[in-house]
A and B are shown apart, each in its own frame.
Chain A
Amino acid sequence: EVVLTQSPGTLSLSPGERATLSCRASQSVSNSNLVWYQQKPGQAPRLLIYGASNRATGIPDRFTGSGSGTDFTLTISRLESEDFAVYYCQQYGISAWTFGQGTKVEFK
């Protein structure tokens, strides 16, 4: 099973600042199978990025996904108030989808 490790666990930032979230895989992941979600309390995850770098429908361009192999990054260029949430990366491996443990972006 591919293990995804996200860092940092918590990111304390202010609106307007840049957020850089990391997702590291225990073995190489196909770019086409790396996904990012945003989750707010009491809600289901929301698809942000698929195929490592493709924004989902309706996702603003301040969200950018990048990376390849075992290292992937989600960048939020200028945080807005609605961006404070938990972010998960996910991959599809040989036999199962696996998720990271999440990075919480909180108000500083």
Chain B
Amino acid sequence: QVQLQESGPGLVKPSQTLSLTCTVSGGSISSAGYYWSWIRQPAGKGPEWIGRIYNSGSANYNPSLKSRVTISVDTSRNQFSLRLTSVTAADTAVYFCAGDNWVKAAFDIWGRGTMVTVAS
């Protein structure tokens, strides 16, 4: 059973870069059939898709965040990562990594999420 675990700093200063990593266990990140996504959810609001990457390194981003986001993959470590630059308080949220199942066109694997607060 594939599991996902987010890791990274819980506090980031305004204007700095938010960096998170998602470790895939119980399966290979190179397995066919999945994109690997980052999703965030501010308190009391609906989720927001940030972007996704395939094991080849091909990535797609939410147009609203594209200028600040980079998602990368390290197949040797079975991990994928998120970088979000020039953060503000509006980027404070719970950040989830998730598996985007091609066949179902849905996220059917989720990490537990990690809270990131942007504050000085």
Q: Which A residues are within 8 Å of any B CB, using their own CB?
A: 1, 32-33, 35, 37, 43-47, 50-51, 54, 56, 88, 90, 92, 95-102
Contacts and interface: CB of A to CB of B under 8 A. Distances in A.
Contacts of A99: 46-49
Contacts of B110: 44-46
Contacts of B108: 47, 50, 56
A87 to B, nearest CB: 11
Contacts of A44: 96, 98, 110-113
Interface residues of B, number: 22
Contact of A47 (B48, B63, B64, B106): B106
15 contacts: A1-B64, A45-B110, A46-B110, A50-B105, A51-B104, A56-B106, A90-B107, A92-B105, A95-B60, A95-B63, A96-B49, A96-B60, A97-B37, A97-B62, A101-B45
A92 B60 CA distance: 12
A1 B63 CA distance: 9
Contacts, number: 63
Given A44-B96, A102-B46, A33 B105 contact: yes
A4 B65 CA distance: 19
Contacts of A95: 60, 62-63
A75 to B, nearest CB: 18
Contacts of A32: 105
The 6 lowest CB-CB distance pairs between A and B, nearest first, are A44-B110, A97-B49, A50-B106, A50-B104, A35-B106, A99-B46
B47 A88 contact: yes
B3 to A, nearest CB: 11
B120 to A, nearest CB: 27
Nearest to A44: B110
Contacts of A90: 47, 106-107
Interface string B16-46: 0000000000000000000001000000011
